[in-house]
Amino acid sequence: MPKQWSTDEVKKQLRREARKVLANLSETEKAAWSQSIVDFILRDDGYRRSTQIGLYCAVEWEIDLMPLFERREKESERSFAFPRWNPDRGSYEFARVCGRNQLHRGRFGVEEPAEECEFVSGHSLDMIFVPGVAFSRTGVRLGRGKGFYDRLLEGNTGQMVGVCSNSQLLDEIPAEEWDIPMARVITETGQIAFE
């Protein structure tokens, strides 16, 4: 990419390139990668020690982690919170979900907690799984470009875990001051951990 490009232009180009790759993924590939990642997480010591988990509802090419939530009845000590749009603040917040029937199609077409679900402070979450268009091998996340997830994660103290396929890993993504770094990224072949 030309050196004179701004960080914003570089990120837009990286998004375009990543989306081209992701557009060619089959549902079979996505399902297999999602299952491999879920299996890895279930064996992970950090996850097994965590009792308050931040999850997301996958859309398009995102890795589907709902099997973790569906196991909640076998793991009664663990609770899950999902992002929910707060129209008063114009941003997302976490809310605790106890059953699939509490997830409804939200403002942007993504499933999110119903109004009656209890607000959860990000400070109380032990681990937060984060989707992205791509992640760098140094823990920088490339989102969709609206900044919603960066604002959701800001100030949260739980371990941030990026989740993607190997095809979404890039050598470098320019970081800006508001970008929230990941503690690690999990793919279908394992994880990359950062200091």
Say what the pTM is: 0.91
pLDDT band at 154 (very low <50, low <70, confident <90, very high): confident
Q: Say if 34 falls within a structural domain.
A: yes
CATH number of the domain that residue 19 is part of: 3.40.50.10420
Q: Say if 47 falls within a structural domain.
A: yes
Q: Say if 163 falls within a structural domain.
A: yes
Tell me what pLDDT residue 44 has.
94
* Domain count across the chain: 1
The pLDDT tens digits for 116-144 are 999 998 789 999 999 999 999 999 999 88
Instruction: Return the DSSP state at 138.
Output: T
**Helix, strand, coil % in the chain, rounded to nearest 5:** 30, 25, 45
Q: Say if 178 falls within a structural domain.
A: yes
Tell me what pLDDT residue 80 has.
96
Q: Say if 2 falls within a structural domain.
A: no
86-to-51, 64, 93, 132 alpha-carbon distances in Å: 25, 24, 7, 21
CA atoms within 13 A on the CB side of 133: 20
The β-bridge partners of 186 are: 163, 191
Of 194, 195, 139, residue with least CA distance to 170: 139
Q: Say if 188 falls within a structural domain.
A: yes
Q: Say if 1 falls within a structural domain.
A: no
Task: Please indicate whether residue 186 or residue 23 has the higher confidence score (pLDDT).
Answer: 186
Domain limits for position 157: 7-193
